[in-house]
């Protein structure tokens, strides 16, 4: 408890709340976007480039790097967030260009699905290597530049960082970790004037699930012999291309807002409809209710409502 109180005090100290001038996009302000080859990363890269930022766009494949280099105000960088040598090379590339780095968008991510009691440890390790250790590695490497510029760090989270779902435990675990990472990083970088945010999208068009299905098939994982064989086979037979979902334009706009707002929001939930918003908020409130239930210092309804009012007022 004392440790938690110390962290809370650190967060609330006056110098832990930087007041920055409005961030105006310009060609002199550079941003790095990881996982920029498709989906949220590609859409965000294009929007930031059109809005006047110079974007270093991270991708792994030659064809993706070539396509990204065709975009004005964009320089593609080979960047696999699981490979430290590529991260170090990206740092040198950005440093040598002389623009510095104002923003980092940790977007690269993967999804691993399957029942947790049968999931291979190597698959869980892969999930965390990309989604959790990836942002950790990249942010750590670029931290000196971000501190110099009093810039911004934003990570792509997910509403799955609030709502867990059967067969998606590994993915949800990684996104819950991103939420904790964001809060701790925000407290630690606030004294240096660096803003930290997480953008939590709902269901938007992307290739993440198509790639997930292909990894499952490549590994020969069909669910045969599993206690969950019917559910797994049903998942593999369902459409995975997410083509019915909206383009992630609103998610890209959220990242632009994080980079340009005077005081960026810590959390930005971006969902395509009210139903996903309700599911997410209800899950968060249910967790509060469960934490409070039958504990020796339980708070009554009126006190909980007052706490919610204070939280909504930013107190």
Residue 13: CB atoms within 10 Å: 11
The verdict on whether 171 is a catalytic residue reads yes
Of 66, 62, 25, whose CA–CA distance to 47 is shortest? 25
Q: Which of 135, 281, 248 is nearest to 196 (CA)?
A: 135
Q: Is the pLDDT of residue 310 over 60?
A: yes
Does 18 map to a domain?
A: no
What is residue 192's DSSP assignment? Answer: G
Residue 97: inside a domain, yes or no?
yes
Residue 9 counted as domain residue = no
Residue 9's pLDDT is 33
Backbone angles phi, psi at 69, to 5 degrees: -70, -15
pLDDT per position as a tens digit, 92-151? 999 999 999 999 999 999 999 999 999 999 999 999 999 999 999 999 999 999 999 999
Q: How confident is the model at residue 242 (pLDDT cuts 50, 70, 90)?
A: low
Q: How far is CA 264 from the centre of its chain?
A: 15
- How many structural domains does the chain have? 2
| Domain co-membership, 253 together with 112 | yes
182/212 same-domain check: yes
Enclosing domain of residue 150: 23-272
pTM over 0.85: yes
Contact 123, 114 (CB under 8 A): yes
**Which band of pLDDT confidence, cut at 50, 70 and 90, is reported for residue 239?**
low
Q: How would residue 209 be classed by pLDDT, with cut points 50, 70 and 90? A: confident
6 domain-assigned: no
Question: 61 or 11: which carries more pLDDT confidence?
Answer: 61
Cβ proximity of 142 and 91 under 8 Å: yes
Cβ atoms of 285 and 162 closer than 8 Å: no
Catalytic residue from among 102, 171, 181, 204: 171
Q: Which of 237, 256, 272 is the last residue of a domain?
A: 272
* CATH assignment at residue 182: 3.40.50.720
> Predicted confidence band at 232 (pLDDT cuts at 50, 70, 90)?
confident
Which strands, in side-by-side order, build the sheet including 30-33? 74-78, 54-59, 30-33, 103-106, 152-156, 195-201, 267-270
DSSP string, 61-82: SHHHHHHHTTSTTEEEEE--TT
Phi, psi (5° rounding) for residue 104?
-130, 125
Structure tokens at 262: 């005077």
């Amino acid at each position: 408890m004392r440790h938690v109180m110390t962290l809370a005090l650190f967060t609330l100290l006056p110098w832990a709340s930087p007041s920055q001038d409005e961030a105006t996009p310009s060609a002199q302000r550079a941003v790095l976007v990881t996982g920029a080859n498709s989906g949220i990363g590609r859409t965000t890269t294009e929007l930031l480039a059109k809005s006047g930022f110079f974007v270093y766009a991270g991708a792994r494949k030659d064809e993706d790097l070539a396509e990204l280099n065709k975009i004005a105000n964009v320089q593609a960088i080979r960047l696999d967030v699981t490979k430290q040598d590529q991260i170090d090379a990206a740092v040198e590339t950005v440093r040598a260009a002389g623009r510095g780095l104002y923003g980092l968008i940790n977007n690269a991510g993967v999804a691993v699905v399957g029942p947790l009691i049968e999931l291979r440890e190597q698959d869980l390790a892969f999930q965390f290597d990309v989604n959790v250790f990836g942002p950790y590695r990249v942010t750590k490497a670029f931290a000196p530049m971000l501190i110099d510029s009093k810039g911004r760090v934003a990570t792509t989270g997910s509403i799955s960082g609030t709502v867990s779902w059967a067969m998606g435990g590994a993915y949800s675990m990684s996104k819950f970790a991103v939420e904790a990472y964001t809060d701790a990083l925000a407290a630690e970088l606030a004294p240096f004037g660096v803003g930290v945010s997480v953008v939590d999208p709902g269901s938007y068009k992307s290739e993440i699930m198509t790639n997930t299905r292909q990894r499952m098939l490549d590994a020969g994982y069909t669910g045969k012999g599993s206690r969950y064989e019917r559910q797994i086979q049903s998942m593999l037979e369902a459409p995975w291309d997410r083509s019915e979902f909206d383009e992630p334009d609103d998610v890209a706009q959220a990242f632009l807002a994080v980079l340009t707002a005077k005081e960026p929001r810590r959390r930005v939930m971006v969902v395509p409809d009210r139903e996903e918003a309700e599911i997410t908020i209800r899950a968060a409130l249910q967790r509060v209710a469960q934490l409070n239930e039958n504990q020796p210092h339980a708070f009554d309804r009126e006190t909980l409502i007052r706490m919610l009012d204070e939280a909504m007022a930013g107190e």
